[in-house]
Amino acid sequence: MKKIIILLLINICIVFLPTQAFAQKRVPILVYHSIDEYKGSGSQDLYVTPKNFETQIKYLRDHGFTLLTFENWQDINHVDKPIFITFDDAYKNNINAFRVFQKLQNQSFKPKGTIFVISDFIGRSNRLTTDELKMMVKSGFISVQSHTATHPDLTKISNYEKELKKSKEKIEQITGKPVIALAYPYGKFNNKVVEETKKYYQYGLTTIPSPYVKSGIKNEMYYLPRIYVKYFTTLDEFAKIVEGA
């Protein structure tokens, strides 16, 4: 009789528990490139104006999101509404994003982002310098990770040591911090790329447009999806991206 009562109580609890209790946590990983006004050069979709970026980060702050970097990946199951903000190519105008983070921080909101650097491009006229990267890492707002040495299509090369190992080592020498994540240039990868990436990194990022939801597949951390935020992304569209509406 006691066993029957226990089973009935368990069934009642299951019926009345919210469905979210059984759902896998959904983690958006957003990808940006240039945080600047578009002046007619390059792809407009790869720009987000500083004003729009600030509005988007304000939305995350005001709606209870926790911004993480890959050093804190394990926290996705321990914080409210985890989200990752990433920037590819380390354009000099990413300083604008850094300034937004500085402006919007408060005691309960500590914005963070990850800049994926092309190590051989550091210091070019339109790229962040060594000193700027050091400053942003020291601030605690920014994690600097790898976007390879020269931004090739990794599915078409043979010298993985230069692109993956050397870039990792160069960035670590600059920042003094471990480089554990790689963003695949153009989002391109295959089995060989994944196997080479595993030698040096804990995470590999694609441009598969969906949030991360744990699936348990082999090498799952090397197929991390990312969702583009574009020039014409409205705040309503942004909210749907991050909230999963």
- If you count them, how many residues does the chain have? 245
What is the Cα–Cα distance from 134 to 142, expressed in whole angstroms?
10
Look up the CATH number of the domain holding residue 42.
Answer: 3.20.20.370
55 inside domain: yes
83: closest CA among 95, 68, 61?
Answer: 68
User: Do the domain assignments include residue 188?
Assistant: yes
- Contact status, residue 242 vs residue 29, Cβ threshold 8 Å: no
Residue 8 lies in a domain: no
Q: Does any domain span residue 20? A: no
Q: What integer is the mean pLDDT of 91-108? A: 97
Specify if 152 maps to a domain.
yes
Position 93 in a domain: yes
At 245, the pLDDT band (50, 70, 90 cuts) reads low
Q: Which domain holds residue 189?
A: 26-243
Q: Report the alpha-carbon distance of residue 225 to residue 174 in Å, rounded.
A: 27
Instruction: For residue 14, tell me if it sits in a domain.
Output: no
Number of domains in the chain: 1
Q: Which pLDDT does position 23 carry in this prediction?
A: 57
Instruction: Report pTM.
Output: 0.90
Residue 186 lies in a domain: yes
- Which of 234, 240, 236, 210 shows the shortest CA–CA distance to 24? 210
What tens digit of pLDDT does each residue of 161-212 get? 999 999 999 999 999 999 999 999 999 999 999 999 999 999 999 999 999 9
